[in-house]
């Protein structure tokens, strides 16, 4: 193609872009693809998950600004562009019964109205490919599920001149994918590789509780080879210091084992306006050829 390829990754919170598909984005950036992360919320209600930073009064009081700075650092590491949709984090409700979601949060927005914000960004950036979450949100956080909902509406609406006429010139994205990096085949392969080498696996309990997590088996259609960019992914993840403990579970599998045993990131092709044959190894399969 003479036109530059463009990829948009729609995520719920700052840090999601670094834990889901980050190596894929870094790979495409290195190949000259224009990549934009659309972040739906500011992560204002996210807990401080790094024990080294818990109890810091400045971070607790300025969590929105801190997470925005973390996002900017991760963006630079990955080499991507980034835009905020401007919605407020819904938080993760806990307890029995679950408490109501906070007034005005992202998950309580009207889906069609919130999708219009994403439609505007799609029409401005004009992506050929969009990635987002499945109907379970990847995991059932209200903001992840809402991200799925608005992505599905926006993908179909962006190319329709009669919908959201105030949002700019129509643009029809060609392919829509769900991120499926946390899948059972990958988890099992890494688990068994660690055990075969006489090492402890962090995935044993995960695998026992897979059904409890309500994680149904997904159809993995697309395996993007990006193992050489796993270190970039981890560096971007660590940039989200309030969310990630650099000594925590994310990093318990040695890099060389990850790159040897499972050097891809996985996706589920959901919608395509171009012909492609499955399985794929490229999110732009069927687009490059046309």
pLDDT for 1 equals 46
Distance CA 235, CA 24 (A): 14
Distance CA 59, CA 64 (A): 9
pLDDT for 92 equals 92
CA-based Rg of the chain, rounded to a whole angstrom?
A: 19
pLDDT for 132 equals 98
| Residue 57, token pair as written in the block | 């009064």
| Residue 280, token pair as written in the block | 């794929």
- Return the closest-CA partner of residue 201 out of 193, 210, 191: 191
61 touches 33 (CB < 8 A): no
Residue 246 CB coordination number (10 Å):
12
Distance CA 224, CA 59 (A): 36
Fold (topology level) of 6-182+219-272: Rossmann fold (3.40.50)
Annotated domain spans of the chain: 6-182+219-272, 184-217
Which residue numbers in the chain have pLDDT < 70?
1-2, 211-216
Distance CA 138, CA 181 (A): 9
> What does residue 194 show for φ and ψ, rounded to 5 degrees?
-65, -45
- For residue 54, give the DSSP letter: T
Distance CA 254, CA 127 (A): 34
144 annotated ligand-binding residue: yes
pLDDT for 155 equals 98
Distance CA 222, CA 61 (A): 42
13 annotated ligand-binding residue: yes
Residues in the chain: 290
């Amino acid at each position: 193609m003479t036109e530059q390829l463009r990829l948009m990754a729609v995520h719920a919170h700052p840090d999601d872009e670094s834990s889901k598909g980050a190596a894929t984005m870094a790979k495409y950036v290195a190949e000259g693809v224009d990549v934009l992360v659309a972040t739906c919320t500011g992560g204002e209600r996210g807990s401080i998950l790094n024990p080294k930073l818990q109890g810091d009064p400045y971070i607790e009081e300025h969590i929105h600004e801190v997470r925005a700075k973390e996002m900017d650092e991760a963006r630079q590491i990955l080499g991507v562009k980034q835009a905020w949709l401007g919605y407020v984090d819904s938080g993760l409700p806990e307890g029995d019964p679950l408490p109501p979601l906070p007034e005005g949060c992202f998950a309580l927005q009207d889906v069609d109205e919130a999708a219009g914000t994403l439609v505007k960004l799609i029409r401005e950036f004009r992506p050929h490919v969009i990635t987002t979450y499945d109907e379970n949100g990847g995991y059932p956080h209200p903001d992840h599920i809402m991200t799925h909902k608005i992505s599905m509406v926006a993908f179909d609406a962006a190319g329709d001149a009669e919908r959201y006429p105030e949002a700019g010139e129509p643009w029809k994205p060609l392919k829509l994918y769900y991120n499926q990096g946390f899948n059972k085949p990958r988890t099992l392969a890494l688990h068994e590789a660690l055990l075969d080498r006489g090492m402890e696996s962090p995935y044993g309990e995960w695998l026992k509780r897979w059904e409890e997590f309500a994680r149904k088996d997904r159809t993995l259609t697309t395996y993007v080879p990006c193992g050489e960019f796993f270190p970039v992914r981890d560096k971007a993840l660590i940039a989200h210091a309030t969310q990630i403990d650099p000594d925590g579970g994310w990093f318990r599998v040695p890099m060389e084992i990850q790159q040897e045993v499972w050097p891809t990131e996985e996706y589920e092709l959901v919608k395509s306006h171009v012909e492609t044959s499955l399985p794929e190894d490229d999110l732009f399969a069927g687009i490059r050829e046309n």
